[in-house]
A and B are shown apart, each in its own frame.
Chain A
């Protein structure tokens, strides 16, 4: 199979990393790199690399193979056909995946919560999880095979990192390297149970649906941003009386399911107002997380209470990070201006129990300065950022999850 990779007219940063991903994705043998798509005739796959200026070479005329554009973060975005099993493993495995829109990335319906599909950054399964292998055999693993489940939203999925750069994957490598070096007699697998937009309530459901039967040894709940920002915008009565926060834009699912005119609401439908006081948001998040902890510990796993970092967590922003600060206000503008305050409220209100390992990535990132480019956007990490996060969790697990970070 011949794969033609077309370099952009101008420069493209991180080309080595991006080419490595292309080679992993399509195999090394048939790759040809060219400056134009003229030679595409006998290629089965063409990849147009997008340059730093946002421009890629024009697509080949009349090409009917698989055409991808590789985005600046490395994502291989399929251009000219619906997703299939090459993009989403077992895409036909269940009715909701089969029936989901296959021509765009995004969310799709599931009876318990919702699923998300974001192909092009590495293997995903029919639920949208970053799964390169079948998890089922993990059920029957030996005691010396330790399983870590990482639960959260898109920051856990790590939407700006390739599969092996996402912090759960990095954490798995760190743990196994350590176990080998220490001759600990154990091996580790880390399952990335992050899914776009998940709140802790979704994490609890996904844990019950997919993870509990795997009998994990550790469960990391790496979250904060979604629960707190969406709580600000959620129905005040639901939040105050029942600690129910939700993604406001997903109210659009009702329209979608009932085939009402118009698509699901999107991020572009702005602005969402801030409807709730911070202590109510903090309280709801704390209650739901404590509930998740009880659920996890009830199944015999050790719970690690994480707090994710956001761009405001850093001591100083790099030039690249500075350039994206303004963008965060475009989405959920009102709430974004408030969320830093809510994070601080969360930390001073005594919500986090003292008898659980607490990995406070938010505060830990205060130590990082302008010399490190850790955030790809307001809440998603660069590979370097995810390595730092992996290190923080690695330290806790290595210490037997016995002390606070």
Chain B
């Protein structure tokens, strides 16, 4: 049974293909179109999935959309008309935008594009897609499944019990009481772009003290039943015209931070630390109540809030059970969830134990693509090697010598994290490396931290990470923050954040063999089994997909070395 899941229409469009319950591939549209957060009908991601599966559209048994568009529109209208006075102009603009963007009939658009009968196209509730993306990709036979994002149709939080091929929704919290929108409102307040700058708030939080927590905490009331309520006097989530916060928040915390301003310490960092603390408390509150309600200790998380790796790391230490977080926990992952939901819940396809053990689900490019890119980029000299080990040895030596390397090999990653397939790598032992990579490679704020990728069996020497329960552990997907052991902080300064933490990625020989080997070779030279690992992209651009994307980003950044496929390019020879 071939099932194509699709998510599109708001941000982060994507497609995912299942065959008999196995994930064949999954990819975000932005990787192909090079438009960050591309929301369009993911034609190129669909084409990739069909090609990867060796299918034509007529081979698809079902195409499943990640939300019910009509219900979502119902929410928009109802929310606007409940305003006093009713926000008629907002509705008018929304209707015009929906018509212009074809949002009223996404199923019809898909049917027309794929030329398949309309009755093969289905839809699931948005949060059901999120929940399915987490539970059915997890290794758990049963789990407490919690979804938290901005908003789906109406829901912003759901709690479900997952048991084998079933998902039973037990509770839901509807917008405006949304943790995702709450965090995003502060993202905007702190001068960052919503749906893009949430990671920056997390990074900024480490520079501050949560001295405003007592002011912010009352804005998010935690109820005894595990629910929460946002104080609407401070936020405008239902019909936002300009900012998602009201003047009341400015009265409470002072003027918002001016975007691109250099201020990251002091007041605004304290606000970031405070909102991070308050949101962590809310996450713990929701999840712990959910666990009590289901009686199941293992937890699955999805929805954009589940990408808060700082909270995930702390949550792990509070849970009795195990935690699984879907690598593409945001809306981009809902296509996979839609397909998984249809396969297991609707069609009863049996679950497969290996599902979700890797995030390398994207497209791989072949040697012809590499040669085309080199020719197109007029690259005068490249290095080729007799074996992969020779190539990785050369890369390890460059890294040890202080070079910053762009790596583009194999299938690209599913989700926002680069896990060694589309990564920028550097020597974490060099104190200045964080600043150099931020300023000269990624052209972004100097305070942004970088993650360490570490041989999984060596992680405990450097980090206070919980022992991974298996290849689904959040640390394999860079989804959890841990403390760097004090004794080793000076050894890896470039990946130790100002508060002594790091968003660790464990690297396993079986699931990521080439990257694992590179780490071994790097350790053999330097004694450090760790590399600085960040996504291979420039500020504001999607992570690279193809060899040409990689060469382009290499050329337009301060990267020293590029590896595309089995070819190495040295910037100093690029003339």
Contact = CB atoms under 8 A, between A and B. Distances in A.
B555 A278 contact: yes
Interface string A269-311: 0000000011110110000000000000000000000000000
A341 interface: yes
Given A236-B376, A240-B378, A277 B556 contact: yes
B504 interface: no
B552 interface: yes
A279 B556 contact: no
Contacts, number: 26
Nearest to B375: A240
B552 A277 contact: yes
A234 to B, nearest CB: 13
A349 interface: yes
A279 B574 contact: yes
B421 interface: no
A338 interface: yes
Contacts of A236: 376, 378
A172 B376 CA distance: 46
Interface string B529-571: 0000000000000000000000110011000000000000000
Contacts of B378: 236, 240, 277, 279-280, 283
A349 B574 CA distance: 8
A351 B574 CA distance: 11
Nearest to B554: A277
A389 B378 CA distance: 35
Given A338-B556, A341-B556, A277 B575 contact: no
B254 interface: no
Contacts of B556: 277-278, 338, 341
Contacts of B574: 279, 349
Contact of B555 (A240, A279, A350, A351): A279
Interface in B456-475: none
A50 to B, nearest CB: 33
B256 interface: no
A364 B377 CA distance: 32
Interface in A216-253: 236, 240
Interface in B104-146: none
A244 to B, nearest CB: 13
B575 A279 contact: yes
A145 B466 CA distance: 83
Query: Could you say which interface size class chain A belongs to?
Result: 10 to 19
Nearest to A236: B376
A188 B378 CA distance: 44
A364 to B, nearest CB: 22
B561 to A, nearest CB: 14
A133 to B, nearest CB: 43
Interface string A338-378: 10010000000111000000000000000000000000000
A278 B554 CA distance: 10
Contacts of A282: 575
Interface string A102-135: 0000000000000000000000000000000000
Query: Could you say which interface size class chain B belongs to?
Result: under 10
Interface in A305-351: 338, 341, 349-351
B84 to A, nearest CB: 40
A177 B194 CA distance: 61
Interface in B305-352: none
- Tell me which of B376, B378, B556 has the highest count of chain A C-beta atoms within 10 A of its own C-beta: B378
A323 to B, nearest CB: 17
A277 B374 CA distance: 11
Nearest to A274: B556
B575 A349 contact: yes
- Tell me which of A280, A282, A349, A351 has the highest count of chain B C-beta atoms within 10 A of its own C-beta: A280
B117 to A, nearest CB: 40
A403 to B, nearest CB: 25
Contacts of B377: 277, 280
A314 B555 CA distance: 24
Contacts of A279: 378, 555, 574-575
A258 to B, nearest CB: 32
A120 B555 CA distance: 43
Nearest to B443: A341
A28 to B, nearest CB: 51
A324 to B, nearest CB: 18
A196 B496 CA distance: 52
B375 to A, nearest CB: 9
A283 B575 contact: yes
Contact of A350 (B551, B552, B575): B575
A338 B378 CA distance: 19
B569 to A, nearest CB: 10
A241 to B, nearest CB: 8
- Tell me which of B551, B552, B556 has the highest count of chain A C-beta atoms within 10 A of its own C-beta: B556
Nearest to A280: B378
A341 B551 CA distance: 16
B570 to A, nearest CB: 12
Interface string B372-415: 00001110000000000000000000000000000000000000
A348 to B, nearest CB: 9
Contact of B551 (A277, A283, A338): A277
A194 B551 CA distance: 36
A278 B575 CA distance: 10
B320 to A, nearest CB: 51
A359 B93 CA distance: 57
Contacts of B551: 277
Interface in B148-207: none
Interface string A29-58: 000000000000000000000000000000
A213 B357 CA distance: 75
- Tell me which of A278, A279, A283 has the highest count of chain B C-beta atoms within 10 A of its own C-beta: A279
A132 to B, nearest CB: 42
Interface string A80-104: 0000000000000000000000000
B540 to A, nearest CB: 10
- Tell me which of A277, A283, A341, A350 has the highest count of chain B C-beta atoms within 10 A of its own C-beta: A277
A125 to B, nearest CB: 39
Nearest to A282: B575
Nearest to A342: B556
A393 B525 CA distance: 50
Nearest to A281: B555
B567 to A, nearest CB: 16
A217 to B, nearest CB: 32
Nearest to B557: A341
Contacts of B376: 236
A279 B378 CA distance: 9
Nearest to A284: B378
A242 to B, nearest CB: 11
Contacts of A280: 377-378
Contacts of A240: 378
A279 B556 CA distance: 9
A395 to B, nearest CB: 30
Interface in B350-381: 376-378
8 contacts: A236-B378, A277-B378, A277-B551, A278-B555, A278-B556, A283-B575, A341-B556, A349-B575
Interface of A: 236, 240, 277-280, 282-283, 338, 341, 349-351
Given A277-B551, A282-B575, A283-B378, 17 more contacts: A236-B376, A236-B378, A277-B378, A277-B555, A277-B556, A278-B555, A278-B556, A279-B378, A279-B555, A279-B574, A279-B575, A280-B377, A338-B556, A341-B556, A349-B574, A349-B575, A350-B575
The 5 tightest CB contacts between A and B, nearest first, are: A277-B555, A240-B378, A279-B574, A280-B378, A277-B377
